Structure 1
Amino acid sequence: MKPDHASPDHLRDFTTDARVLLVAAIAVVVATAGLFAGIALLKLIRLATNIAYFGQFTLADLKLEDTPLGYASVIVPVVGALIIGLMARFGSEKIRGHGIPEAIEAILLGRSRLDAKVAILKPLSSAISIGSGGPFGAEGPIIMTGGAIGSLIAQMLPVTDNERKT
């Protein structure tokens, strides 16, 4: 006769390894760092916009309709794209793309390891692209930046590849 696992007399073992606490603590640190990186990226986008369209190194909320460039402002996205192309050519190819597919690829194929260069160049190139009028949003780069920060933190700690993925 099979034991009835659904009966209240049968207790299951729901204990877990103590490493779960370590991974949870790391997750809190990574999430906090990702939050601040996302806020910094949004400020960097605003700074890039103000530099590109107003020539001002400020985080003030300037309106694009007030740009002194007038019709010449159509050149700004082209200049931004050229800067990003140079960054991709001489910096890292991994800054290309939207961010989310690249983060998933790094998790599935790259043992959850992202290069430190990508952690710096991706947010910078995204800020230049979005700030100069590129047709992108900040969500993908924020995810990629958070993933890069998590990868860098996990690479410094004694965790396995599977723990790094979480």
Structure 2
Amino acid sequence: MSELRYLNGYAEEICLQVQHLISNDKLAPHLQKKYAGPHDIRTDKALYQYVLDLKNTSLRNADPIDKVAFDSKIQVLKHALGTHTTISRVQGGKLKAKREIRVATLFKEVPIEFLRMITVHELAHVKEREHDKAFYKLCCHMEPNYHQYEFDLRLYMTYMDTSGNRLW
């Protein structure tokens, strides 16, 4: 069985099923059947509005997000799909914090469900810093299908890794 680096930690049975889909050229049709084409959020301004709407719906009391952008420098192969940062600056006698979310440019050309999964993930870090039970509970509060979308995104990244192609 070839290495399925995006599925590390998943049960061997699941990895074998994925390997079977890959060897029979059925992984791409499986994903295309489940998800429509890419979303139409292409600019940083549109992404910021999308994230702000999601935040205002699910995390009204959370700290404000100052910047959201697609970032071509994020290395998907280094296990980063998005980042969240807090930049603290002294302004006068006060300490001000600015929060930024950056999303890998890979997410410009994927189904909206994958973009939603990564934005939910990064928004959850505004309230919960660590990837613990509370963090994933918050992710599932914002998007009930969070875990399925994350798994399917891992399948898509596995497809890109093994075929060298994109679907959308």
Classify the TM-score, shorter chain: under 0.3
Larger RCO, structures 1/2 (Cα 8 Å, 6+ apart): 1
The structure where helix makes up a greater share of residues is 1
The structure where strand makes up a greater share of residues is 2
TM normalised by structure 1 equals 0.26
**Larger radius of gyration between Structure 1 and Structure 2:** 1
